[in-house]
Amino acid sequence: MINLYTDSSPNGFKVTIALEELALPYRLHHVRIDAGEHRQPAFLALNPHGRIPVIVDTETGITLFESAAILLYLAEKSGRLLPLQPAARWEAIKWLQFHASSVGPIIGQRVHFELFATDRNPTAIERFQSLTNSVFSVLDSHLARHIYLAGEDYSIADIAHFGWTHIARIINFDFSRYPHLSAWHERVAQRPAVRKGITLPTPATGA
């Protein structure tokens, strides 16, 4: 049994989507960030950085945090959502890492400076808007030639990126001028497991 500790956030949705796609049995524990539950000793024992998501696999005794690591683990455990053919497999891992190192952090910083920072910093806002458009452009160019990020097969790379494009839509970070990225987003959004995953533990109403 996998115990998932999460809240309604882009990084959390990556794991709920993956678990629903893979039909792995799991128990959901809602860590309410707004209530400070991610700073409680019991949760910090699982992730000393105090961030969701976290999984604890009772079958293997493995505890993991960081959504990219969790996605890789779930794909390895199930034998799905990560291509077996080496070139396609590394393509999926490459785009998963692109998300983890660039897309997620960039959009996350834009969310902070544009929506939540108490002191408006026009230079920071402009910088992260520009960086967001740059990564959207990279994805759009790649998806002009491929159905999914790893090629023909839907993978954990798609799940990782969708977590943040889903939130981008909710908070009006518009990417409609990138037609291939937009078409990919709509294609992924129609998957039943994705539609369920973005409601767990509750649907997002903001960033």
Question: What are the structural domains, with CATH classification, of the chain?
Answer: 2-81+194-198 (3.40.30.10), 86-191 (1.20.1050.10)
pLDDT band at 138 (very low <50, low <70, confident <90, very high): very high
Rounded Cα distance, 148 and 154, in Å: 6
Query: What pLDDT is recorded for position 36?
Result: 97
Residue 119, judged by CB atoms within 10 A of its CB (0-12, 13-18, 19+), counts as exposed
Distance CA 184, CA 166 (A): 12
CB-CB contact of 32 with 5 (8 Å): no
Q: What is the spatial distance between Cα 3 and Cα 56, in angstroms, rounded to a whole number? A: 5
* CA angle 16–67–26, rounded 5-degree value: 35
Cα–Cα distance for residue pair 163/108, rounded to 1 Å: 12
Q: Which two tokens stand for residue 28?
A: 């959901």
Please state, in angstroms and rounded to a whole number, the distance separating the CA atoms of residues 91 and 97.
10
To the nearest whole number, what is the mean pLDDT of the chain?
A: 97
Give the model's pLDDT for residue 205. 82
23, pLDDT greater than 90: yes
pLDDT score of 109: 98
Summarize the confidence of residues 70-98 as an average pLDDT: 97
Indicate whether 113 pLDDT > 70: yes
Contact, 4 vs 15, CB < 8 A?
yes
Place 34 in a pLDDT band, splitting at 50, 70 and 90.
very high
List helix spans (H) across 79-121.
Answer: 86-98, 104-111
Q: What is the pLDDT of residue 21?
A: 98
Q: What is the pLDDT of residues 43-74, one digit of tens each?
A: 999 999 999 999 999 999 999 999 999 999 99
Q: Which residues 6+ apart lie within 8 Å of 71 measured at CB?
A: 14, 15, 18, 81, 96, 156, 159, 160
pLDDT beyond 60 at 207: no
Amino acid 129: pLDDT:
98
